[in-house]
A = this chain, B = another copy of it.
């Protein structure tokens, strides 16, 4: 069977992934969830028809959103993940022995259930006793937390539908308040090739809430353009000068993408990306 998944970005640029078969299709009150087995990228999860991750390349995104803040914060005991119900980010956080508690706030229980059923290598730490899964709206959850977390990771979908609020100034301000006085936030912030206007807005919102913020970049083949941006926003620590190289080195013994050099390199921005901020 010649079966292809197709995702089109901005109506003009798209991705094709050869699919062997559909493994699951369901719908929650929030979104449609599909799981397919691809020819060459392992299993793939889709929300409302958009690629969330494939087994083959998910390591880049999950390692980069998690290890960058956790190797900069000197003692990240208490970590909050907004979104990320698949468990990939939690899996990476759980590699850090300093982390004693992980709160995962996923609005959609179906994502967690199906990740556990179909993606054991991604969801493997969701039942770790350090992890508490809250099936709640991340925006509301963050509003109620004050001075609590060392690190907040916003592992959201694109800023359409339920995730729009996760890119707003109010949300970032609530995250700031939910962080301890030396807390760090990271978030996925879309494609620097294709989403320039959106990125300008996101970083303007971040800048209103946090005294320090930087963009970093990593390649994710199954995201539009293959090149993805992340925000590092912080109350105190700087992403390169305050990196704990020894801990970064230790973590990189179990990673497929992240290492201390990659951590530093990710913050080097090409001229066309620098221009977004000028």
Identify the A interface with B (CB < 8 A).
4, 6, 8, 10-18, 38-41, 57, 59-60, 193, 217, 219-221, 225-227, 252, 255-259, 261-262, 264-266, 268-272, 274
Contacts and interface: CB of A to CB of B under 8 A. Distances in A.
Contacts of A17: 12-14
Nearest to A221: B225
Nearest to A273: B257
Q: Which are the 6 A-B pairs with shortest beta-carbon distances? A: A226-B226, A14-B16, A265-B265, A12-B40, A265-B268, A261-B268
Nearest to A252: B271
A8 B15 CA distance: 10
13 contacts: A11-B40, A13-B40, A15-B15, A59-B272, A60-B270, A217-B219, A219-B225, A226-B226, A257-B271, A259-B271, A261-B268, A262-B270, A264-B268
Contacts of A270: 60, 256-259, 262
Given A256-B270, A262-B268, A14 B12 contact: no
A19 to B, nearest CB: 9
A256 B269 CA distance: 11
Contacts of A15: 14-16
Given A219-B227, A226-B227, A258-B270, A41 B12 contact: yes
Given A14-B17, A14-B18, A16-B16, 19 more contacts: A4-B14, A8-B16, A11-B40, A12-B41, A13-B18, A13-B41, A13-B221, A15-B15, A221-B226, A225-B226, A226-B227, A255-B271, A257-B272, A258-B270, A259-B271, A262-B268, A262-B269, A264-B265, A265-B266
A257 B265 CA distance: 14
Contacts of A221: 13, 193, 225-227
Nearest to A40: B12
A265 B202 CA distance: 25
A38 B256 CA distance: 36
B13 A16 contact: yes
B259 A57 contact: no
Contacts of A262: 268-270
A269 B259 CA distance: 9
Contacts of A252: 271
